[in-house]
Amino acid sequence: YGTYGWGARTPGYNLWPLKFVTQLFKQARKITPAQFDLSLHTRTPVTSVSALSPTGSLRRWELATPRGAVQCSYVVHATNGYASHLLPHMAGPAGIVPVRGQVLAVRANVPLDVLSTVSWASDQGYWFPRPISGIEEEHPLVILGGAREAAGPPFEMDVTDDSTVDSTVGAVLRSFLPALFPGLYEPGREPEAEWTGIMGYTALDIPFVHRPRPEPKHAYEGQFIAAGFAGHGMPRGFGCAEVVVQMIAAELAGREWVALCGSHDRF
């Protein structure tokens, strides 16, 4: 492939994550029993979670949002790198550290049959070509992410602002593919899109899937967390969601939930 070094090649697939989870949501709505209401509220961040008086409400918690309050008995924290905003004890290296990653989309200089559909991932960087969307699109769009080391210490750690991009990281990303594959990418070509996103890292790069455990233990009764995916939320998120739902279902049924594998310290 024009470079030297060892590696492992495995079959893979390419999909659009937003379209995928949108279809999952639609399927979930179709199978939701009539006595339940499944709804999705975008642009509605939870700004606080407050305990309700046991004598004044049948619910445990009140969630404040810009669109009003919601009362509930169970809360799942799935905010990944932002988890410590509502769970202060999850801040720092012992919890979940937010890390900003940067990605751009650049047009290749050759057709897909010349470029090939091979993608690459190593350490914290990756690239992959998007499928051709139609006959009008001759050259594929390539998604490239990484180069956090170019930002310098602390390498985008503890950064939670994904409304801006780092110009130094952007410059390294722009020069990477043309230098690695001369002729396949045009030097100096500007990307068609560039953006950042916030990942959530743990000390072991393993997600937290459990009840929050501050002292006293009852302080977060009915609350659960599934977060800290270390940049791999799409492949890890679905399995973690299944486990956290099993935990809640066991509690509702008055049963003890037992982990089938792994350490109970993580569950």
The pLDDT value recorded for residue 229 is 95
- In this predicted structure, the answer to whether residue 264 has a pLDDT above a threshold of 70 is no
| Residue at token pair 């509502």 | 86
Strands 125-129 vs 141-145: parallel, antiparallel or unpaired:
antiparallel
- In this predicted structure, the answer to whether residue 1 has a pLDDT above a threshold of 80 is no
Distant-in-sequence, close-in-space partners of 238: CB < 8 Å, separation ≥ 6: none
Q: Which of 109, 115, 94 is nearest to 208 (CA)?
A: 94
- In this predicted structure, the answer to whether residue 32 has a pLDDT above a threshold of 80 is yes
- In this predicted structure, the answer to whether residue 51 has a pLDDT above a threshold of 80 is yes
Strands 208-210 vs 223-227: parallel, antiparallel or unpaired:
antiparallel
Assign 267 a pLDDT band (cuts: 50, 70, 90).
Answer: low
- In this predicted structure, the answer to whether residue 149 has a pLDDT above a threshold of 60 is yes
The pLDDT value recorded for residue 261 is 64
CA 171 to chain centre: 24
Strands 125-129 vs 120-122: parallel, antiparallel or unpaired:
antiparallel
Average pLDDT over residues 58-70: 95
Type of residue found at 216: P
Tens of pLDDT, residue by residue over 170-210, are: 999 999 999 999 999 999 999 999 999 999 999 999 999 99
> Is the four-CA dihedral 29, 43, 202, 204 of positive or negative sign?
positive
Strands 193-201 vs 141-145: parallel, antiparallel or unpaired:
unpaired
Q: Which domains are assigned to the chain?
A: 70-96+202-267 (no CATH), 98-197 (3.30.70)
Tens of pLDDT, residue by residue over 82-114, are: 999 999 999 999 999 999 999 999 999 999 999
The pLDDT value recorded for residue 135 is 66
Assign 219 a pLDDT band (cuts: 50, 70, 90).
Answer: confident
The pLDDT value recorded for residue 218 is 73
The pLDDT value recorded for residue 265 is 54
The pLDDT value recorded for residue 31 is 95
Assign 132 a pLDDT band (cuts: 50, 70, 90).
Answer: confident
**Exposed/middle/buried for residue 195 (C-beta within 10 Å: 0-12, 13-18, 19+):** middle
Distant-in-sequence, close-in-space partners of 8: CB < 8 Å, separation ≥ 6: none
Tens of pLDDT, residue by residue over 234-256, are: 889 999 999 999 999 999 999 98
The pLDDT value recorded for residue 92 is 94
